[in-house]
Amino acid sequence: MRRATIALASAMAAVSLSACSVVDSIGGADSSASPKKGDDITVGLLLPEKENSRYEKFDYPIIKKQVAELTNQKGKVTYANAEADPGKQNTQLQQMIDAKVDVILLDAVDSKAIASGVKKAKDAGIPVIAYDRLAQGPIDAYISFDNELVGEVQGRALIEALGTRAAKSKVVMMNGSASDPNAAQFKAGALSQLQGVVQIVKSYDTKGWKVKYAKANMKDAISAVGLGDIDAVYSANDGLAGAVIDTLKTAGVSKVPPVTGQDAELDGVQRVISGDQYMSVYKSYPDEASAAAELAVYKVQGRGIEFEALTGDLVDSPTNKGIPSRMVPVVTLKKDNIKETVVQEGIYTVKQICTDKYKSDCAAIGLK
Ligand code: BGC
């Protein structure tokens, strides 16, 4: 049902966008819209952290480029990164309200703590669109990936890796930050596959998604379970997977057990190629970030029909019901589909992935 809605929304978006470009090409504005503003707009973008490279390498530059393209190069993006500090993000949000930006794209560090700031923006007449993480408070729309599906894909991959050993296998869970609602969805998706199938011997939430905490938690798991007795690690993203694998290696593991990840970070992809990391999940940053830029611009310009076409799904947050939303699908990334995913989408070149250290691993899977 939910997936049918997604497919329908995408189809509607395609129809609506092509219809719009026809109108544009003959020089008119969309007659169905009541534009509030022209192209000279400012989009405020609040991203949560820098420890994972996606935000500064993909999300921000793609949103910036798309906003410019959608506004004849006149629209601007004001960007701030909270570096995993909820207080800092509240201040940054307030600064954007004071600067009277036209719309805010918000990827919350702490979805609950930011709710009062969202309300302030709303009261100041500034729409807020939740980006990637569903912030609480009166937000206007939500754009993200299908986060529960991310967890399901990760969980299923571990079971596949363990094969007939699954029932006897001891699995450690390295989850994301408790203040990020996505982390709860990744965990729920993974548990829907793992529970009752493997033995979950330890489970940690990683404060602020920080590598240093993941390392400490992994050390704790090793001393509690025993290095040789950990058969697999569910790791919510590539940053945490790197920490888990490092800690296992430092402890002297003879063979790294299957470890999951997400984000297709460059070093994550390289670990998948070398066999240190079992899989990652590729989430198309161009799809998510472009749609976010479109939503922001349509909202400010009062292009309601196009806005609705992009947000055909509805989600609830703990504070608000029926939020118009869009969920972008995700893809498992393994050794055999690196070319079809990150290379084909222009995320990395083969040259970037296959550095000297990975030359022979790349050759072994025919990546050239
Ligand atoms: C994002 C992931 C990211 C994590 C840490 C999540 O909300 O969806 O892509 O790895 O936060 O920043």
Q: Residue 54 CA: which ligand 1 atom is closest?
A: 9
Task: Quote the CA–CA distance of 96 and 127 in Å, as a whole number.
Answer: 12
pLDDT value of position 350: 97
CATH number at 2-139+284-328: 3.40.50.2300
H or E element, residue 268: helix 266-274
How is domain 147-280+338-360 classified at the CATH fold level? Rossmann fold (3.40.50)
Chain length of the chain = 368
Q: How far is CA 12 from CA 7, 185, 189, in A?
A: 9, 27, 28
**Substitution candidate for ligand 1 out of 263, 280, 283, 327 with most atoms within 8 A of CB:** 263
Predicted TM-score of the model (pTM):
0.90
Q: Where are the domains of the chain?
A: 2-139+284-328, 147-280+338-360
pLDDT digits (tens, 9 = 90+) for 208-242: 999 999 999 999 999 999 999 999 999 999 999 99
Q: Provide the terminal-to-terminal Cα distance of the chain, rounded to the nearest Å.
A: 40
CB 129 within 8 A of CB 142: yes
Q: Residue 239 CA: which ligand 1 atom is closest?
A: 10
Q: How far is CA 230 from CA 131, 154, 273, in A?
A: 36, 17, 22
Q: How far is CA 318 from CA 119, 134, 139, 252, 323, in A?
A: 15, 10, 12, 44, 11
Q: What's the gap in Å between 98 CA and the centre of ligand 1?
A: 28
| Ligand 1 cavity residues, CB under 6 Å | 49, 52, 54, 132-133, 176, 180, 182, 209, 237, 262-263
Q: What's the gap in Å between 71 CA and the centre of ligand 1?
A: 29
H or E element, residue 150: helix 147-162
pLDDT value of position 108: 98
**Substitution candidate for ligand 1 out of 209, 235, 265, 347 with most atoms within 8 A of CB:** 209
pLDDT value of position 34: 44
**Substitution candidate for ligand 1 out of 56, 186, 237, 330 with most atoms within 8 A of CB:** 237
Beta bridge partners of 199: 170
pLDDT value of position 2: 41
Residue ranges, the chain, pLDDT below 50: 1-34
Angle between helices 147-162 and 181-194 (to 10 degrees): 40
**Residue 60 exposed, middle or buried by CB count within 10 Å (0-12, 13-18, 19+):** middle
Biggest alpha carbon–alpha carbon distance for the chain: 69
pLDDT value of position 27: 32
Asked if 2-139+284-328 and 147-280+338-360 have one fold, the answer is yes
Q: Whose CA is nearest to atom 6 of ligand 1?
A: 182
